């Protein structure tokens, strides 16, 4: 969460929207209870906080502790990815999907 706050450069919102769309597409065919689905929900939640900063300010520090480990992994990987993108000399026009296998 704190990785998304502080001094940052603009990020291409279309890249963030693309990441959200890709995460939704990945989880569309997954079981409601699968850890993979939870991972992609975490990816989407972190990306949505860029589009809607009020979501980040409403999330408490301990709220991630109440989520599944797969959700936390997706969220934290995406938060890190976005933090790097916001400090890049040129904002990326496309963001890669965080690696689900890297979360395990």
Assess contact for 69 and 104: CB atoms under 8 A: no
- Average the pLDDT over 73-94 and give the result: 90
Chain mean pLDDT for the chain: 85
- As a whole number of angstroms, the distance between CA 10 and CA 23 comes to 22
pLDDT of the residue at 3: 43
- Average the pLDDT over 19-33 and give the result: 95
Confidence tier at 10 by pLDDT (50, 70, 90):
low
More confident residue, 13 or 77: 77
What is the enclosing helix (H) or strand (E) of 42?
A: helix 35-51
Assessment of whether the complete model's pTM goes beyond 0.75? yes
* Domain assignment of residue 98, yes or no: no
* Domain assignment of residue 3, yes or no: no
- Identify which of 69, 78, 72, 87 has the alpha carbon closest to the alpha carbon of residue 11: 87
- As a whole number of angstroms, the distance between CA 21 and CA 4 comes to 20
What separation in angstroms does the CA of 51 have from each of 1, 10, 86?
Answer: 14, 12, 13
Domain enclosing residue 58, as ranges:
31-90
pLDDT per residue as tens digits for the range 75-84: 999 999 999 9
* Domain assignment of residue 55, yes or no: yes
Confidence tier at 4 by pLDDT (50, 70, 90):
very low
* Domain assignment of residue 59, yes or no: yes
How many domains is the chain partitioned into structurally?
A: 1
Assess contact for 91 and 9: CB atoms under 8 A: yes
- As a whole number of angstroms, the distance between CA 75 and CA 6 comes to 18
């Amino acid at each position: 969460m704190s990785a998304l706050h502080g001094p940052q450069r603009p990020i291409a919102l279309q890249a963030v929207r693309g990441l959200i769309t890709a995460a939704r597409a990945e989880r569309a065919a997954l079981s409601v209870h699968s850890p993979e689905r939870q991972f992609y929900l975490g990816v989407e939640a972190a990306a949505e906080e860029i589009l809607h900063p009020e979501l980040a300010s409403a999330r408490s520090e301990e709220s991630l502790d109440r989520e599944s480990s797969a959700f936390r992994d997706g969220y934290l990987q995406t938060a890190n990815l976005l933090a790097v993108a916001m400090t890049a000399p040129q904002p990326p026009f496309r963001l890669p999907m965080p690696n689900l296998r890297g979360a395990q």
